[in-house]
Structure 1
Amino acid sequence: MFFRLLRLILVVIVAVLGQPVFDASAQAIGHGSAQLIADQTKVIQDLTAKTDGLEKRLGDPDQDDAGLVDIRLQLEDISRAALTSALAFRQRLNDINARVEVLGPPPAQGQPPEPAIVSNERSALVSEKAEINAVVASAQNLSVRVNGLVDKISVMRSELFRSVITKHYDLNDALSPQAFSDAHDQISGLYKAVSSWLSFALKFKFQAILAATLMALALAAVLLIGGRRLFGRIFEADPTVEEPSYLSRLSVAFWSTLLPTLALGVFFASAVFFFNYY
């Protein structure tokens, strides 16, 4: 009897002395969680305000593709920030769930009531979890909203691209009688200028033109014929070789193309030189 009374006294003393310690610990934990909730709530509010501004920009009828891309990039940053804000509560939610599991469910009806310290702790944890879930839900809703805006931007860019491709231009001015008249005047002026030059050249410079052309042709022929005689073995395929190497075929193709090109270039250059000289 004496020992039972002594054990009861010890239990009462522990409960009385442990209550302030638990209250202080619970207040410290609650204060830290409350600060985290307040910080992340502020973050979500700022992200929501920024999203509202970007959504208003989407309503601008003069928005071009570059502007839509810029808005999309900012929305993707907001979505990542919202998910990061929601993940900030992961550790605290794990701690709350673990503690609630340790405390166990409340006693059923008809069973002896649990100590007030346990019921108060469970209520505080449930209330804290509800506040955290509310902030997490806000972050998730913002992320869903941002994803919807990103999809909307994709549709807008597609429609903008189609509108640019299928845009109708007014061709009335380009096909007007005045345009045809101006084109006729320009062509007539070009024809008169060229015909006048040819008439003058044929009447007064025919011999000089003929001499300059023949000399230019002679230089080109000398280069072409002489080049073939000097370097014929380089760009002419050897008929005795049935399967020439790739490098040999490439060399033949290169030199056989280079020599006529040089001859043509010499012809034009010498023709211009002699025309200017005479």
Structure 2
Amino acid sequence: MTAPSLRQALRPSWSLTQFIQFGLVAIAVLTVLMVGGSLTVLSYQAHLDEAWQLQQARVQTAVGDIESHLNGLQYPFNYFSKVRGLSRIDPDVQQRFLEGLTRTNHAYEAVAIFDRQGEFRAGVTPYQAGDAEQAFLISHRQMVRRVLSRSEQLLSPVTLDTDRQTLLVTIATPLYDASDQLDGVLLASVNLEGLNGIIAQTPVGRNGSIYIVDRRQLILTQTRNVDETHQSFQLERLPNAIASRVLYGDPAHQFKIYQGLRGQSVLGVAALVYSVGWYVVVELPVMEVYAPVGRLMTMMLWTGGGAIAIAIA
């Protein structure tokens, strides 16, 4: 190979202009990728924060509605319990008092008054009669004795009337005489049908769900789709895997993403109904949470691709 041929072989194949062009294109591409990536990450985090705050707002709204509903159920009952000497007046008068109590709210399934010995004095059961009334009184006699021994109001665990598909809870509170001495017990069985309405009216996104869990980790009520509306409802236990994440998990762990009640990955948040010790849980499918971020990423990809194509051109 001659000397000129060797110089030609060693001469750079790209001119200075081409180097400059390549450098500008590379800078443009890197800039688009860096800016687009940064905006995507920031948008993702901002949207996740927004979704979490929205979930918190939803669950707090539901808790407030439940607290108001329970207070509305207990207010007439607590008012009547403050009438001193109620356990000593004539049983016919007691009967009228109790009838008035059941008329204040149709949620009262049964109400009864017991004396200081725990003996039945008067009772009203608008939806029961005969053997059903006696069964109710017998089944709650132990609760009456506990109130008389402790001199404090008691709230029974929630039960399910499978025949009517109705949740029931029993409240028992002490009665006092004119000297403020323990003198009897006022007992009421209350249905919780209003909880279903609160759950149904709480917005939880397009495919989200909301449910209430009691101290026993039993699901009292939950969002039901059209196919589940007419199915029989049972008190089912919340899986331990969910309970450990959303109910008893580390409060410092802000975002709780786990396999939800319906078997799909969800963003979940829970809040406590302090008066009864229940938890309200709101779950939103992760796919629904990430959908806006996915649309944003798609738009950024198209925009970045267009910018890169223009830079290359």
- The alignment's TM-score, normalised by the length of structure 2, stands at 0.27
Q: Which has the higher helix share?
A: 1
- The alignment's TM-score, normalised by the length of structure 1, stands at 0.30
Structure possessing the higher radius of gyration over alpha carbons? 1
Q: Which has the higher strand share?
A: 2
